[in-house]
Amino acid sequence: MVPEERISKCADVLAELRYSGEQLECLPPDLIPRNEAEAYRVQFALHDRLSDMGGGPRVGWKIGCTTKVMQEFLNIPSPCAGGMFAAGVVQSPASYDFASLRRPGVECEIAVRLRADVPQSGAPYDRQTIAPFVASVMSAMEVVEERFVNFRDPKVDAATLIADDFFHLGAVLGPEMSLSEGLNLAALGGRTWIGGQERGAGLGADVMGHPFAALAWLANHLATYDLNLKAGDIVLTGSIVASQYPETPAKAITEIAQLGRVISDFM
């Protein structure tokens, strides 16, 4: 099978999986992306399908594995990106049907909204050169789900997870805050609660030293695929607390100091 055909068929399988409500053990062997570059080509093809299937336009990106705690949790040593779509981005408080999701989890994140397009010509960016493109920041909860029966199965490799948007289901956002208020994002603490029990804590600095370092990584990553961040895009910079999973219907809360709380009821 030629790469273009494999990429298209893999995107078809993953698009069907996204809305099926079922879990998949692994991709058919002949459809597994051969490397990271091919995995992202599948992901971008998947995005077109998801938009057409009711997801609406892509309105931003999530970044995974930006902290040591998440890299250890997933056993993946480098950041990974995925797309976010209009239908899945909501304001706090939010609610989800627990029974309809495939082992849902929550992640505690600092999110940003971009004020302007980030030109590919400016790459490589760093945390200083990417900062002027940020309009606002906010506390956020990424809602993830496990669409594969066991993501630790050797047959479900990092390329497969990248192709499938790296667990992403949706994003719940808190109020936006201007950077002009002198926020020190690296120093902000974050916490996650499930059912009233605190499950973990971390700092903004755990995200590659600063959340803007993760944002710069994303801009540079997209430039290698002839893509760029757009004005108005929302970016989840990575969970500062390891993913936490409600075992039964429960209220989930993530909080970033000075940015506020985000609430989702899994009912």
Residue 16 lies inside a defined structural domain of this protein? no
Q: How confident is the model at residue 52 (pLDDT cuts 50, 70, 90)?
A: very high
- Please tell me the total count of domains within the chain: 1
CB-based contact 142:106 (threshold 8 Å) = yes
All residues at 6 or more sequence positions from 77 whose CB lies less than 8 Å from its CB, including other chains: 65, 71
Q: For residues 263 and 245, what is the distance between their CA atoms, to the nearest angstrom?
A: 14
Q: Which residue carries 């499938």 as its tokens?
A: 164
- Number of residues written out for the chain: 267
pTM: 0.95
Residue 263 CA neighbour count, 13 Å, CB half: 7
Residue 132 lies inside a defined structural domain of this protein? yes
Residue 53 lies inside a defined structural domain of this protein? no
Residue 48 lies inside a defined structural domain of this protein? no
Residue 13 CA neighbour count, 13 Å, CB half: 23
Residue 38 lies inside a defined structural domain of this protein? no
Question: How do residues 33-47 score in pLDDT, each as one tens digit?
Answer: 999 999 999 999 999
Residue 183 lies inside a defined structural domain of this protein? yes
Q: What CATH number should be reported for the domain holding residue 213?
A: 3.90.850.10
Is the CA virtual torsion 170, 89, 185, 246 positive or negative?
negative
Enter the tokens of residue 134: 């940020």
Question: How do residues 178-224 score in pLDDT, each as one tens digit?
Answer: 987 678 999 999 999 999 999 999 999 999 999 999 999 999 999 99
Residue 212 lies inside a defined structural domain of this protein? yes
| Higher-confidence position of 77 and 158 | 158
Inform me whether the pLDDT recorded for 2 exceeds 70: no
Question: How do residues 229-262 score in pLDDT, each as one tens digit?
Answer: 999 999 999 999 999 999 999 999 999 999 999 9
Residue range of the domain that includes 216 = 60-266
Residue 75 lies inside a defined structural domain of this protein? yes
